[in-house]
Homo-oligomer: A and B are copies of this chain.
């Protein structure tokens, strides 16, 4: 049998008891004959504790040294895990980023994996060992420690799975899998049996926090099947896999929402070539990520331009844009923080007509006004008033046939 890569997040290894439980679960796979490679995050709370320490030294700690500090979190996890496996009578070996090695670029705090050397891991596996690899960390070409940024352990796991040609990359987390929408606001949300990489990417970037977006991109690139499942039960979770024909039968796979954006509108912008570039130049230069941008067809060479930015960047952006607006002679700049974005996602949209219309009608029926619309091949997003978010999600969930069937009365 082949290699299985498993990744356990911070809550899954958040205590000595939990680490022992994970060890038992991994040993099961080992006893079934699989070659087990286990990627671990730092124990829950550790990472925040280390960041606190750094901030007591300096409000803006040096990035190289911050990575050296942060990397200790995963180091502790893998050492304790390997001890636990050994104390249960099985052989194990921990490997840090520099020992694999996992080569990255030198962007401290958000490094990207460039190459994974599999020789050492394979040697340990061939000797019958369970190999545990510290997630989130790597080594740049000068031998400095780097980290991949928050959630980077997912990426480590998928990169290892790709390099090792693993059968599957299992991402263990504190939820059962990927749901059609957030069960907290829509009790009828269903767990998906499978979802395509493309859909998962849209789900991840729109706020479903089960899988790190870069990990999904990596998995898509190298065709690594991901199994998102719970650490705390034995149920099957959700397979994230390449798109298949039968996925297209389902028009919409999931509904997501995002309350963390704010909207800025520039009224009566003179519509001439280069104007958009001029407006966004200071925003991009400040490192602010603009999400949706909507510009209407102009009337009399005057147009309105609307876009959204993350709420924490709202006031900064507003100030920057007001300056530009004055320079270019726009009429006014309006801002609105009380908005939300609801989206429907599904590869089936490509082959089904009228999906957008169906969405607009469902929202209209509940008197929810649509402020902005943005579409991609497999996604339609609408910006609405924030207070309607939950209602909109439940309405769309029902409208696209995602509601779970009622449990039979017992």
**Interface residues in chain A, defined as those with a beta carbon under 8 Å from any beta carbon in chain B:** 16, 19-20, 50, 53-54, 56-58, 60-62, 64-66, 68-69, 71-72, 75-76, 78-80, 82-84, 86-87, 92-94, 96, 98-99, 120, 143-145
Closest to A87 in B: B58
- Which of A50, A60, A71, A99 is the most central at the interface, judged by chain B CB atoms within 10 Å of its CB? A99
Contacts of A78 in B (CB 8 A): 68
User: With A68-B78, A69-B75, A143-B99 in contact, do A56 and B87 touch (Cβ < 8 Å)?
Assistant: no
Contacts of A61 in B (CB 8 A): 83, 87
Contacts of A57 in B (CB 8 A): 16, 19-20, 80, 83-84, 87
Closest to A84 in B: B57
Picked from B58, B75, B80, the residue with its CB within 8 Å of the CB of A71 is: B75
Quick check: A65 and B79 within 8 Å, CB to CB?
A: yes
Contacts of A62 in B (CB 8 A): 82-83, 86-87, 92
Complex Cα spacing A91 to B62, Å: 10
Complex Cα spacing A16 to B53, Å: 8
Contacts of A98 in B (CB 8 A): 98
Quick check: A94 and B75 within 8 Å, CB to CB?
A: no
Complex Cα spacing A50 to B187, Å: 43
Complex Cα spacing A80 to B57, Å: 7
A-B contact pairs, 6 of them (CB 8 A): A54-B79, A57-B84, A61-B87, A62-B83, A72-B72, A72-B75
Closest to A93 in B: B64
Complex Cα spacing A71 to B144, Å: 16
Question: What are the 10 closest A-B residue pairs judged by CB atoms, nearest first?
Answer: A58-B87, A69-B79, A72-B72, A68-B79, A62-B86, A16-B56, A65-B82, A61-B83, A65-B79, A57-B83
